[in-house]
Amino acid sequence: MAAPRSRPRVVVVGGGFAGLQAVRGLSAVDADVTLIDRHNYHLFQPLSYQVATGALAPGDIAVPLRRVVRRQRHVRVVMGEVDGFDLERREVSVAPALPGTEPCVEHYDLLVVAGGSSYAYFGHDDWRSLALEVKSLDSALQVRGRILQAFEAAELERDGARRASWLTFVVIGAGPTGVEMAGQIAELAYDTLPRELRRADPGAGRVLLVEMADRVLGSFPPALSRRAAVALEELGVTVMLRQMLVDVRPDGVELRDADGASGWIPTRTVVWAAGVTASGLAGLLATAAGAETDRAGRITVEADLTLPGYPEVLALGDMVRVRDRRSGAPEALPGLAPVAMQEGRHAARLIAARLAGRASPGAFRYQDKGTLATIGRARAVADIHGVQLWGLPAWITWLLVHIFYLIGFENRVVVLLRWAYSFITHGRGTRLITEAAGTPRAAGVASVEGGVAGEYAAPRRRLRRLALRGRATPPTSGPA
């Protein structure tokens, strides 16, 4: 009697937007599916900056992977970090993510790699511990701790210059994440905390948004960039364009303007939101396939998302460039959640078709559903199929879209309630310092000098608002 034929084995690496959509799309296939991720949760990354500013709790935007796939009995979740591919033997090497566990090897008939991306520090990896990013949940919690510790330190500090440095927040990069982060810090400083601190005046602090280009939100239409800049200034954010970051130290940052003039800004809190690089999985996959990666570390895949020479391997998300189905030229698609989700669903359709012996769905086609960025309360911009929205309509659109894409009914309800509470009370309920933020320490604080000092002054609109409220007198250009 012949031995029963084993079921096909599908391995999916990465539990982000692309990988999770691929797994969920395989709910009806007759195959054994293994999902590998170094974390045990799926993170709704577009809202991680709200964790970093105390607007949401970690559990509001993250859900355990096992809970997501609990009804897919043929799906197994492996918590580990992939450290190698053998494409000839069709094996994936997995290093243990937990102490005391053993490494393992997963065999596959079809492989999906969706490693995502991380922030690039442009050759200055020594800045990582000083300028934290908010792309991961762990780093978002670190940023939250560092921001809140800065306000606590300002409350204790007696020296005016030192207090000013604690109340200066610098965000590097004016893309959607940088704009959203700067707006949230400004609301925290100028709207939430003034009623709670007694000695320090957070309204006299500064939130600086630094960008090398000539406008914020460079991927948006220029008209929306201008409206976003105005909204940021209304919130009290100082937008510093055509400024290049030269150095980051524990007690400040050095900037250089377009004319070559340099200036020093004392600060203890720097948030990084500039530039991305592909996950290291792209390099591992390229090495295994004998392929090359581009300057951002991305590997090139065919129009149907398969790896050249290895049709049983698909690569998705921010770590790939996709060949155009007509010209064959590699194209880097926007690093947005909808792109990754659509790629994950396409990969699932392709795998299901192959396992069922049906015709392939063909080339992947990205359907652009528009871009959105929020700035603050009732402030946002949106470009949806050429229709430009700003202010309250764009903000409501942003709210609805993000609630829709959150995974889990419970998360949707909790986030909606938190946002409603915050909107009504101007409060933030998750401002807890529970982790070691690792705030850099410095012996002294220098004064602002050089070409950047003029742009460092607090915006006039915020000063007028503060003066009318009687909470502060207009500060001078630089720390008092």
Read off the pLDDT of each residue in 4-20 and give the average, rounded to a whole number: 90
How many Cα atoms occupy the beta-carbon half-sphere of 28 within 13 Å?
5
Dist. CA 248–CA 442, nearest whole Å: 12
Tokens at 293, concatenated: 């990666």
Q: How far apart are the first and last CA of the chain?
A: 88
Q: Where is average pLDDT lowest: 114-118, 402-406, 450-454?
A: 450-454
CA–chain centroid gap for 445, Å, is 31
Q: For the chain, give the longest Cα–Cα distance.
A: 90
Q: How many residues does the chain have?
A: 480
Q: Where is average pLDDT lowest: 291-300, 358-367, 421-430?
A: 421-430
- Burial string for 254-283 (b: 16+ CB within 10 Å, else e) reads bbbbeeeeebbbbbbbbbbbbebbbbebbb
Read off the pLDDT of each residue in 415-432 and give the average, rounded to a whole number: 86
Query: What pLDDT, on a 0 to 100 scale, did the predictor assign at position 251?
Result: 94
Which residue of the set 133, 180, 302, 343 is catalytic?
180
Query: What pLDDT, on a 0 to 100 scale, did the predictor assign at position 471?
Result: 39
Do residues 183 and 222 make contact, with C-beta atoms less than 8 angstroms apart?
A: no
Q: What is the pLDDT of residues 246-278, one digit of tens each?
A: 999 999 999 999 999 999 999 999 999 998 899
Q: Where are the beta strands (DSSP E) in 269-351?
A: 269-272, 276-278, 299-301, 306-307, 310-315, 320-323, 330-331
Percentage of the chain modeled with pLDDT above 70: 89
9-119+277-356 and 125-274+371-469 agree in CATH topology: yes
Residues 6+ apart with CB under 8 A from 458: 204, 206, 236, 238, 474, 475
Query: What pLDDT, on a 0 to 100 scale, did the predictor assign at position 461?
Result: 44
pLDDT at 446 over 50: no
Query: What pLDDT, on a 0 to 100 scale, did the predictor assign at position 363?
Result: 94
Dist. CA 204–CA 206, nearest whole Å: 7
Query: What pLDDT, on a 0 to 100 scale, did the predictor assign at position 97?
Result: 87
pLDDT at 314 over 60: yes
| Average pLDDT taken over every residue of the chain | 88
Q: What is the pLDDT of residues 326-347, one digit of tens each?
A: 888 999 999 899 999 999 999 9
Dist. CA 172–CA 340, nearest whole Å: 25
Q: What is the pLDDT of residues 25-76, one digit of tens each?
A: 999 999 999 999 999 999 999 999 999 999 999 999 999 999 999 999 999 9
- How would you classify the pairing of strands 91-96 and 252-257? unpaired
**Pick from 242, 118, 135, 139: which is nearest to 178 by CA?**
135
> Residue 240's pLDDT band (boundaries 50, 70, 90)?
very high
Query: What pLDDT, on a 0 to 100 scale, did the predictor assign at position 303?
Result: 96
Residue boundaries of the structural domains of the chain: 9-119+277-356, 125-274+371-469
Query: 9-119+277-356 has which fold?
Result: FAD/NAD(P)-binding domain (3.50.50)
DSSP state of 253: E
Kindly report each contact of residues 461-467 with a partner whose C-beta sits within 8 Å and lies 24 or more positions away, as own/partner. Answer: 461/233, 461/234, 461/236, 462/190, 462/203, 462/233, 462/234, 462/235, 462/236, 465/236, 466/190, 466/203, 466/204
Helix residue ranges, H only, 130-175? 137-156, 160-166
For the domain with range 125-274+371-469, which CATH number is right: 3.50.50.100, 3.40.50.20, 3.30.200.20, 3.40.50.300?
Answer: 3.50.50.100
pTM as predicted = 0.86
Query: Exposed, middle or buried: residue 465 (CB in 10 Å: 0-12, 13-18, 19+)?
Result: middle
Query: What pLDDT, on a 0 to 100 scale, did the predictor assign at position 456?
Result: 46
- How would you classify the pairing of strands 237-240 and 206-210? parallel
Percentage of the chain modeled with pLDDT above 90: 76
pLDDT at 464 over 80: no
Do residues 94 and 80 make contact, with C-beta atoms less than 8 angstroms apart?
A: yes
Report which of residues 409 and 283 the model is more confident about. 283
Residue 180 annotated as catalytic: yes
**What strands lie across the sheet with 449-450, from one edge to the other?**
243-249, 252-257, 262-266, 449-450
- For residue 143, which phi and psi values (nearest 5 degrees)? -65, -40
Query: What pLDDT, on a 0 to 100 scale, did the predictor assign at position 475?
Result: 35
Helix residue ranges, H only, 373-459? 391-405, 409-425
Whole-angstrom CA distances from 88 to 58, 298, 300 are 40, 21, 19
Read off the pLDDT of each residue in 20-27 and give the average, rounded to a whole number: 96
Read off the pLDDT of each residue in 210-219 and give the average, rounded to a whole number: 95
